[in-house]
Amino acid sequence: MEEVFGVQQKLNGDTSQEIYDQISSHLKEPEFQPRALFDKFNIEVLCTTDAATDTLKSHQKIRESGWDGKILPTFRPDSVVDINSHSWNSEIEKLSELSDIFIESFSTYIDALVIRREFFRSMGATATDMAATGIIPQELSKVEVERIFQSALKGNVAEEDAISFKSHMILESARMSLDDGLVMQLHVGSRRNHNPELFSKFGPDRGADIPVKAEFTKSLSLLLEKFGTSPKFLLIVFSLDESAYSRELAPLAGHYPALKLGPPWWFHDSINGMRRYFDRVMETAGLYNTVGFNDDTRAFPSIPARHDVWRRASANWLAGLVVRGIVDGEDAEEMILDLAYNLAKKAYRL
Amino acid sequence: MEEVFGVQQKLNGDTSQEIYDQISSHLKEPEFQPRALFDKFNIEVLCTTDAATDTLKSHQKIRESGWDGKILPTFRPDSVVDINSHSWNSEIEKLSELSDIFIESFSTYIDALVIRREFFRSMGATATDMAATGIIPQELSKVEVERIFQSALKGNVAEEDAISFKSHMILESARMSLDDGLVMQLHVGSRRNHNPELFSKFGPDRGADIPVKAEFTKSLSLLLEKFGTSPKFLLIVFSLDESAYSRELAPLAGHYPALKLGPPWWFHDSINGMRRYFDRVMETAGLYNTVGFNDDTRAFPSIPARHDVWRRASANWLAGLVVRGIVDGEDAEEMILDLAYNLAKKAYRL
Amino acid sequence: MEEVFGVQQKLNGDTSQEIYDQISSHLKEPEFQPRALFDKFNIEVLCTTDAATDTLKSHQKIRESGWDGKILPTFRPDSVVDINSHSWNSEIEKLSELSDIFIESFSTYIDALVIRREFFRSMGATATDMAATGIIPQELSKVEVERIFQSALKGNVAEEDAISFKSHMILESARMSLDDGLVMQLHVGSRRNHNPELFSKFGPDRGADIPVKAEFTKSLSLLLEKFGTSPKFLLIVFSLDESAYSRELAPLAGHYPALKLGPPWWFHDSINGMRRYFDRVMETAGLYNTVGFNDDTRAFPSIPARHDVWRRASANWLAGLVVRGIVDGEDAEEMILDLAYNLAKKAYRL
């Protein structure tokens, strides 16, 4: 508010209208247009999240516009993986069209995904993203996966088959990442659309997504058995269940070279959330098994503030280690740069 | 000990007898009688917890005594809701008698409860209280609830039906609260009577109640779907599972206007417990989605000390926010009064 | 590194070879031999963990060597209790031979265990140790336990019977501890051999054991009902799930006289892990329901550092209590000695 929009007054009922007007008026000025803010914020890379069936025309347009801001897509396959969603069959049609592959079997489906991933990569994508709450990666036999896929094509999928299919697809996605080098991200722990009235009036993503308990040690076991020590693979995991930090996530990230921890996310992307993350994760996982900080905001003007909070929280944590003689000044200088910038850049292969 | 009983010595084996005698002797003095202490402690309101079938004669007696101390009842319906308890049928007889309603069906049972709640309200009650460990509020069909109720009247209830009935009754209680304005409290997380030997020798509530894991996001989902945004409804939840603070309770309280969080309770009603509560709850829930502090002691002389600890812990937390520039002095002055006094008073509609 | 091996340089890629050589060369010197380090470290007692079928010949040899270092065995019965392990039948043969009892039934099996425990005790053992992740102590009928035992003798055990048997054996072990005074230890919470590739190449205990959620309130309920208030019995529990500290373990240890909490273990045997342990355990359990600190290292030269970290963390915690006026200097002087030394000595009956 203060640094981007110059708000000096205290936020409260008396000042709200004036501040609203001030921000509104700024947003119409040329220097508050997205590209101007992008430059002002000194953003090096901004990644969007795009459905596997997105044409990426907006990305194409940006490229053709001559603007040199680096805006990259991220491959999000949920809409073509959630086979019991109403839109799955039409999504598969789109996927078929865009990949120029007639999808009539699981193997042609995988071929089409490989082609889409390649297209995303050609447009600069370096990562994928999947929601995986309550999903345990598991391998299906070829016969079984084909049976389920055919039933999905016919629009007739049992709930448990849909879950098995997603479980299997997490492994397939990891396999594809191993081939094409796209970093794999899993977001775990949110129960979506907790407030049905809000959902029916305004749709998804309105703030009514509430965390639930998460489990990683057993759930990630097969995925890590298969790919956890592969030097070419990188899996970044985000959690909304802080009780898993020191119990499961830090030990797993400390052990498997291919696993790194994403920063504290969503409700925990805050001063206290970051402090707890440093406290519970770093000793066991090690700083270099985390990815530093990437914000995942939908609020563009919030980007500087979010990185600022992370950098202050990082500096505060690190200063505590220096003051207590656990880290020396030389290492701290390197670590603070890694926390603020290098780790995220390296993890996302930017 | 020090402020109420003037104990100056250190507590240990050498001094125990002397201190015991000192306290014993004080307790016989007029200025240590309950009403004298009530005045000395400067208590504005003290609420008891009373069975739905309590005549509230003690409350009546206090009123008739001419004493102006404000002692209010709280409606606790567990004994008439736990249909597989041995005493349920006799409790229903009492309920029938006190409400002057012949309870022969679920609807007459609800009518009787409404009448009792109204009586409690006429005696000053502003809240209800229920234990809900392991209970997920769920709606039963009219036919189903009647079937279970009739089997209970015959003294022949299946364990799973008793649980379904309680699940249903939490929703019914919320519905009644919406009508009569009694604040609804749910206490979650204790396994009662963990030590059977202690229980058989001395009965319940002797300190052998041990917490278990709790779940709120899924469990409260139907209750909040139905009543979570109703302006007339207020639900206060207490937890013994601190891992749910930042994962489930704070996000839920931050989202649903009708949900507020009770203070750290029981084992967590302590300096460290309060610090952890402030740390994990406030950022996401917001101070004004909590109810400040109400102690729930059975030890009358402990009341000043318990509020003193809360007030010191609150001041300490708030001072930390002021020192770091997160809250300014003006807001802090308001917040500390709300923490110490206003929030509880407002939440309990006193 | 610094105090034991005199390493002065900073550990990094440039200095690694030199430091490795320096340590290697030291390890060949007489003053770095185990007995010399034992004296230098001022170790009073070192306990090994030994299978129930171990002859304790090494212990015998130490005794006969004339060296006065106190090295005691600990009775670890897992290999004769895990009836579905491949080596169980050969282990039973050894057990039979060593105890001079023909094991043909559950009661002769118990007799043999009693004899082995007695032998361990004669060699100085004061404690037993069992892994109990996911095991809920439960009593089997005599008929049932005999049926399972006979099927095990025939090498044909169902998975669920093996679990029931271990559940029963935890109770039997407690019963034997009550008779012979061996302190009972339960380690809970690790999923062993999470990385199958590592396991197949290098075997168990290579650092791929990852914690999982643990439950104590329900799981320990029968064990504590039977033995939790017995003055002769002592059960020490270790947890890898910190969320159980304040929710389950501290309340249980605060209630049952026979239950004490082991120090923060494994991933939590660290500065932050200890700080969290003090924070969440002490207020509710009470210091004297913990066992102070016993390290469980496999790395002999790490012993001084591990106790040093605990002592500093203890002193830091205690100093915080003194500075805030919660503990006075007189008590603190006693408490710090108990934390550093007396509690462990007393708990393990040394």
pLDDT band per the 50, 70, 90 thresholds, residue A207: confident
Please write the tens of the pLDDT for every residue from A287-316. 999 999 999 988 999 999 999 999 999 999
| Residue B131 pLDDT | 87
Cβ neighbours of A335 (radius 10 Å): 21
| Residue A150 pLDDT | 98
Q: Is B194 on the interface with C (CB under 8 A)?
A: yes
Q: Kindly report the average pLDDT of chain B as a whole number.
A: 96
Q: Is A298 on the interface with B (CB under 8 A)?
A: no
| Residue C266 pLDDT | 94
- Please say if the pLDDT value at position B254 is more than 90: yes
Cβ neighbours of A333 (radius 10 Å): 12
| Alpha-carbon span B277 to B274, nearest angstrom | 5
Mean pLDDT score, C294-301? 92
| Residue B132 pLDDT | 86
Share of chain C above pLDDT 70, in %: 100
Binding-face residues of B in 114-153 toward C, CB within 8 A: none
| Residue A277 pLDDT | 98
| Alpha-carbon span B204 to B192, nearest angstrom | 8
Please write the tens of the pLDDT for every residue from A4-44. 999 999 999 999 999 999 999 999 999 999 999 999 999 99
Q: What per-residue string of b and e applies to A252-262 under the rule 16 or more CB within 10 Å gives b?
A: bbbbbebbbbb
Measured in angstroms, the CA of A28 and the nearest CA of chain B are apart by 30
Please write the tens of the pLDDT for every residue from B305-348. 999 999 999 999 999 999 999 999 999 999 999 999 999 999 99
What pTM does this model have? Answer: 0.96
| Alpha-carbon span B39 to B68, nearest angstrom | 10
The helix (run of H) or strand (run of E) holding residue A183 is strand A183-188
- Please say if the pLDDT value at position C306 is more than 90: yes
Give the residues across from C259 on adjacent strands: C235
Mean pLDDT score, A131-139? 89
**CA B258 distance to own-chain centroid:** 17
Cβ C85 vs Cβ C79: under 8 Å: yes
Cα–Cα–Cα angle for B45, B46, B52, rounded to 5 degrees: 125
- Please say if the pLDDT value at position C173 is more than 90: yes
Please write the tens of the pLDDT for every residue from B110-139. 999 999 999 999 999 999 999 888 889 999
CB contact under 8 A, C194 and A221: yes
Radius of gyration of chain A (CA): 22
Taken in order B75, B78, B79, B80, the sign of the CA dihedral is positive
| Residue A243 pLDDT | 97
Using alpha carbons, select from B331, B185, B171, B350 the residue that is nearest to residue B263.
B185
| Alpha-carbon span B274 to B282, nearest angstrom | 11
- Take residue C214 and report the two structure tokens written for it: 């643990």
| Residue B56 pLDDT | 98
- Please say if the pLDDT value at position B298 is more than 90: no
| Residue C108 pLDDT | 98
Select from C9, C11, C191, C194 the residue whose CB has the most chain A CBs within 10 Å, as the one to mutate to test that interface.
Answer: C194
| Residue B261 pLDDT | 98
pLDDT band per the 50, 70, 90 thresholds, residue B2: very high
Taken in order A104, A107, A112, A116, the sign of the CA dihedral is positive
Share of chain A above pLDDT 90, in %: 95
CB contact under 8 A, A248 and C272: no
Share of chain C above pLDDT 90, in %: 95
| Residue B90 pLDDT | 97
Q: Supply the DSSP string of A276-329, one letter for each residue.
A: HHHHHHHHHH-GGGB-------S-GGGHHHHHHHHHHHHHHHHHHHHHTTSS-H
Measured in angstroms, the CA of B82 and the nearest CA of chain C are apart by 22
Cβ C217 vs Cβ C246: under 8 Å: no
| Residue C133 pLDDT | 82
Please write the tens of the pLDDT for every residue from A72-109. 999 999 999 999 999 999 999 999 999 999 999 999 99
Select from C136, C212, C217, C218 the residue whose CB has the most chain B CBs within 10 Å, as the one to mutate to test that interface.
Answer: C217
> Is the ipTM value over 0.90, yes or no?
yes
Chains that touch C (3 or more CB pairs under 8 A): A, B
Using alpha carbons, select from B244, B250, B179 the residue that is nearest to residue B213.
B244
| Alpha-carbon span C323 to C319, nearest angstrom | 6
Measured in angstroms, the CA of C212 and the nearest CA of chain A are apart by 6
| Residue B206 pLDDT | 83
Mean pLDDT score, B221-233? 96
Cβ C195 vs Cβ A228: under 8 Å: yes
Span between the terminal Cα atoms of chain B, in Å: 29
Mean pLDDT score, B83-96? 96
| Residue C213 pLDDT | 96
Q: Name the least confident of A56-70, A188-202, C138-152, C312-326.
A: A188-202
